[in-house]
Structures are given as structure tokens and as C-alpha cells.
Amino acid sequence: MTRKRTITLLGAGAAAVVVAAAVWLATSREEPLRIGFSIAQTGALSGNGKPGLLALQIWKDDVNGRGGLLGRKVELVFQDDQSDPATVPGIYGKLLDTDKVDLVISPVGTDLIAALMPLAIERKLTVFGLFGLGNNEEYRYPNYFQILPSGPNPRARNATGFFELASRQLPRPQTVALVGADDSYGRYETAAARTLIKKLGFTTVYDRAYSPRTVDFGSVVRAIKKTNADLVYVASYPPDSVAILRAAHEEGLEPAMVGGGMVGPQFASVMTELGPLLNGVVNFSAWVPAPALLAMPGIQAFIKEYDARATATGVDPLGYHLPPYAYALGQIIEKAVETTGSVDQQKIADIVRATSFETIVGPVKFGKNGEWAKGRILTVQYQNVQGHGVDQFRGPEKYVVLWPEDLASGNIIYPYSKAQK
């Protein structure tokens, strides 16, 4: 073979490689950028899962309207985990191995995120957490980032506002009843409460966990009532929260303060079901339509779009608490992918760890163990709820922000019995 013939063949081969690379690049840009997750559409956590999914879909449509990410349309690949942690490893295994997703968002809820963590660490995934309490405190996995604004001491955040407020009331309450579900969330919450009780000089007169299978809470409430506790701190998921507050009303339980760590009163379905039974409850929330939070850039446009879609689809009509943070999580993913120019797990994690993000819930900077560097969980009190209509909850009047003080929108009605009248 002549030298000229050899050069010609090498040139042709190089050209073929260039063409193949161009075809591969074009094909890769045509393929969607897939973000995978499980999310509760049924079961106890669907009150968070359904509106959370809608918020993520709104973000997906917004980012695709701007041209997508890396020249690719964003696709959400998701499956109902039925609020059951046992389903989580299998769902995420399929998302990674069969669906070939590029990035993952966690399920909603502490116990479900706990079920994901071993797989995430094994696969070296960057995990965008969607409302879990202290899931990374033991693992300290560097590529985990939680959008719930609990702050550097996440397991204590919900309880802190409740007990700090209680310590400032006159007459000062003295005794506490603790009741929580016998699951990860309930155990974390009540453990934090015990620490605060000791720190602030309260006395515990009741401390019990109940089985997550419990349906009738009458006996639990009667046992608490016998102690005559000044404060009743409850760590519960939505069905239990409803049942406990109903039982408290039926049994005439009237402590000075009640609530704290109840999941459920943040959802429109629970608000409208309980109606005036919510009056006086002091509880945590991530987001309510308080003036300071409504001033964040982009939040009102999100609420307007959410409201229109929720009306059409029958999802939680308010979209408070979790949905603004789900959308904000999408904004963080968008910025991280754009900044790195890739979906490489480690590059994404490095930029998320180093960046302060501007979102519809305000600036977000992650710190220790992937939690917010500065927490912003709210403690609110439900006041002057009348009837069961949903529209009364659209403004700030029915949930008054009591803590933190820089976001406070009103004053506590104390004791609980006064707010119930």
C-alpha cells in the first residue's frame, strides 16, 4: 500500500469518527434530560405528594419553555410509592437501571428518604431531598441536599419554636405531655422535644409512642387529660393528626398549648375537614401566605399558576407548605446543571454545596449535612377559623406566624381554650 493511499484511508477514518461523534451529540441532545423520583400519590403522605408533584411539573414546563437544560427537554420520570418505604429501593433501582434517569429527587417524607439513603450512597448519587427530617445526621453523606428549611439542627427545628414560645407565656406552663408515632419521624421529634424540655426547665408528665396502625386515639387523649399537662406536644402524620385533634375536642382536652410537630394541618384537605377544631393549635409549617414570604420574587406567579392547575386537576387547592419548596428545588437543579454544563453527579454536588441560590422561597444556601445553613421553619397558630370553607385559608389571617420573630405576623392567643372560644 502506498503512502498516499495510507494517508487517504486515515483521513477517511478520521472523518467517519467526526461524523459519528456529531451524530451521537445530536442524538444525545434530542434525548430528554430525565429526573427520576418516587412520590406519594396514595397513602398517608399523598397530601404532600400530590401537590409536590404538581409543583415539580410546573417547574418542568417553565424550564422547557425556556428551552430545557443543556439543549434537552426535561422529563420527569416518577412512580407512586404509596407512602410505603418498602417500595422505595425497588423504584429507584428501576429508575437508575431501566429508565436511565440522569438525576434523582428523593421521595417525600422522613421514613421514605431513609429507605433511599443506602442505595444513594452505594451508587454515589447526588440526592435532592424533598421534606425529610434529619435524614443525613448519621450518614453525613456529602452529596445530600435537603430543601426543607430545618437548618443545621434539623431534628430540633419543629419543636424549638413551640417550646421557646411556651417558655415566654404568662402564667408560665410547667408540665408537658409528649405523644408521637412509633416511627422515624415520631422518634426524632419527641427526642428533640425531650432535650428542649430539659433545657427550658419543663417537667414531663406523659411520654408515650403509639403504633402507626392506631386508629382510635380516645384512650391516648384520655390518658393525657388525666395528667393535666400544661403543654401537649404531638408528632404525627396526617390521619393521626386529624384523629388526635378530634379526640381532644371530644374528650374536652384543654392544655395551655397543643400541637408542635403535627403533619397534616398544613394541607387544605385537613384544614377544611377540621375547620374550627384547628383554632388555637400551635404547629410547624414550612410556608404560609405571610406578608414577608409573599414578597419573595416569583412566588406570587407560582401560586397563581398552581391555583389554576390545582383547580383543573383536583389537587390541594392552596399549594402551601411543600409546593413552593418543590418548585424551588427545581430551580436549584436548573441552576446547578446550567452552571456545570453537565449532569455529572459529583460536579452537580460540588456546585450545589458551594452556591447560594435565589429561589421563590428566598435565598437557599446549604450547610452542614446538606441542611439549610440557616433554618426557617415557621411556628404558626391557627386563629379565628370559621366553618369549613377553603377560601378563608387563602390569606394570612387564619395562620399567624409566631416564630421566628423576624417573620412574625401577629401574636399568640393563649391559652388554647381562649382561642377555641
Q: Tell me, what's the pLDDT at 77? A: 98
Q: Tell me, what's the pLDDT at 9? A: 44
Same domain, 119 and 251: no
| 8 A C-beta contact, residue 202 and residue 174 | yes
| 8 A C-beta contact, residue 220 and residue 210 | yes
346 pLDDT above the threshold of 90: yes
Question: What CA–CA distance (Å, rounded) separates 43 from 53?
Answer: 15
Q: Is residue 60 part of a domain?
A: yes
Query: What is the identity of the amino acid at 196?
Result: L
Which cell goes with 315? 389537587
Q: Is residue 376 part of a domain?
A: no
Same domain, 264 and 411: yes
Same domain, 223 and 97: no
Q: Give the CATH number for residue 80.
A: 3.40.50.2300
Average pLDDT over residues 163-183: 97
Same domain, 263 and 410: yes
Q: Is residue 377 part of a domain?
A: no
Q: Tell me, what's the pLDDT at 120? A: 98
94 pLDDT above the threshold of 80: yes
11 pLDDT above the threshold of 90: no
Question: What CA–CA distance (Å, rounded) separates 52 from 193?
Answer: 28
Question: What CA–CA distance (Å, rounded) separates 42 from 33?
Answer: 27
Q: Tell me, what's the pLDDT at 98? A: 98
Which cell goes with 108? 417525600
18 pLDDT above the threshold of 80: no
pLDDT digits (tens, 9 = 90+) for 360-395: 999 999 999 999 999 999 999 999 999 999 999 999
Question: Would you give the end-to-end CA distance of the chain in angstroms?
Answer: 101
Q: Is residue 378 part of a domain?
A: no
421: confidence class by pLDDT, cuts 50, 70, 90: confident
pLDDT digits (tens, 9 = 90+) for 28-52: 457 999 999 999 999 999 999 999 9
Average pLDDT over residues 76-99: 98
Percent of the chain with pLDDT over 90: 91
Same domain, 401 and 257: yes
Q: Is residue 375 part of a domain?
A: no
Other C-beta atoms lying within 10 Å of the C-beta of residue 295: 10
pLDDT digits (tens, 9 = 90+) for 102-123: 999 999 999 999 999 999 999 9
Q: Of 232, 272, 283, which Cα lies nearest the Cα of 394?
A: 272
Same domain, 259 and 390: yes
CA distances from 269 to 266, 275, 316, 350 (A): 9, 10, 7, 39
Q: In terms of pLDDT, which residue wins out, 30 or 201?
A: 201
Same domain, 113 and 211: no
Same domain, 12 and 59: no
Q: Is residue 317 part of a domain?
A: yes
Same domain, 273 and 416: yes
The total of structural domains in the chain comes to 3
15 pLDDT above the threshold of 80: no
* Domain of 13, in residue numbers: 1-30
4 pLDDT above the threshold of 80: no
CA distances from 319 to 4, 231, 282, 308, 313 (A): 71, 30, 20, 11, 13
Taking the CA atoms of 327, 332, 335 and 340 in sequence, report the sign of the dihedral they define.
negative
Same domain, 232 and 336: no
Q: Tell me, what's the pLDDT at 7? A: 47
Q: Tell me, what's the pLDDT at 261? A: 97
3 pLDDT above the threshold of 70: no
Task: Compute the mean pLDDT over every residue in the chain, rounded to the nearest whole number.
Answer: 93
Single pTM value for the model: 0.90
Same domain, 111 and 50: yes
Q: Is residue 132 part of a domain?
A: yes
C-alpha gyration radius of the chain: 24
* Burial class of residue 371 (count of CB atoms within 10 Å of its CB; 0-12, 13-18, 19+): buried
Q: Tell me, what's the pLDDT at 108? A: 97
Q: Is residue 405 part of a domain?
A: yes
20 pLDDT above the threshold of 80: no
333: confidence class by pLDDT, cuts 50, 70, 90: very high
Which residues 6+ apart lie within 8 Å of 174 measured at CB?
A: 202, 203, 230
Q: Tell me, what's the pLDDT at 2? A: 56
Same domain, 120 and 164: no
Average pLDDT over residues 300-308: 96
Contacts 24+ apart (CB under 8 A), 194-200: 195/156, 196/156, 196/159, 196/160, 196/163, 197/163, 200/163, 200/164, 200/166, 200/167
